Amino acid sequence: MSVKILMVCLGNICRSPLAEGILASKLPKDLFTVDSAGTGNYHVGSPPDKRSIHTANQHGLDISLQRARQFSRKDFEKFDYIFVMDGSNYDNVIELAKTEEERKKVDLILNQLFPNENVDVPDPYFGLQNGFEDVYQMLDEACEILAKKLIEKHS
C-alpha cells in the first residue's frame, strides 16, 4: 500500500503542480503517490500555468501532463498527508474537515522548512516569471526535508 501525499493551492495551476512534481521526483514511485488539487474550481481540467511548466522544465521536471482538479472531502480519505501552500488554502481545507484525524493530516508545506512559523508560499499568478523560480526554490527545499522524513518513516 503506497503512502499518499496531496499538495493543495487555490487554482491547482501554479504552486501545487510544482510541489507535486518536485516531491514526486524525490520519492520512490513504488512506495509513494503524490497528487495535487486546488480549493477553487476556476481552472479545473487545465494544464499547469505555462510559467510553472517552464520553471519545472528548467529543473529537469515535466509537469505538463498534470490537469487541475478541485479538492474534495473524499481527499481526506484518500490521502495520508495534505500539504497546503498558504493560510487561505489551510482555512479552506480545514473548513471541510469533519474529524480531528482529518484535521491532523493538514499542514502548511513551508512548516517543513520553518517549523511552526506558518509561512506562506506566495501566489505567483499575478506576478512575473521570476516569482515562479522563487516558488520553485522554496518548494524544493521544503520537499527535500519532507521526502527524507517520509522515506525514513515509511520504508
Which residue numbers are catalytic?
A: 9, 15, 123
Q: Which residues 6+ apart lie within 8 Å of 69 measured at CB?
A: 12, 37, 38, 44, 45
Give the nearest distance from C-beta 121 to ligand 4NP in angstroms: 8
Contact 26, 99 (CB under 8 A): no
| Residue whose Cβ sits closest to ligand 4NP | 11
Choice from 5, 6, 7, 9 touching ligand 4NP (CB under 6 A): 9
Site string for ligand 4NP, 44-83 (x = CB under 6 A): ----------------------------------------
Q: What is the largest CA-CA distance in the chain?
A: 41
Contact 39, 92 (CB under 8 A): yes
Site string for ligand 4NP, 109-128 (x = CB under 6 A): --------------x-x---
Q: How many CA atoms lie within 13 A of 67 on its CB side?
A: 3
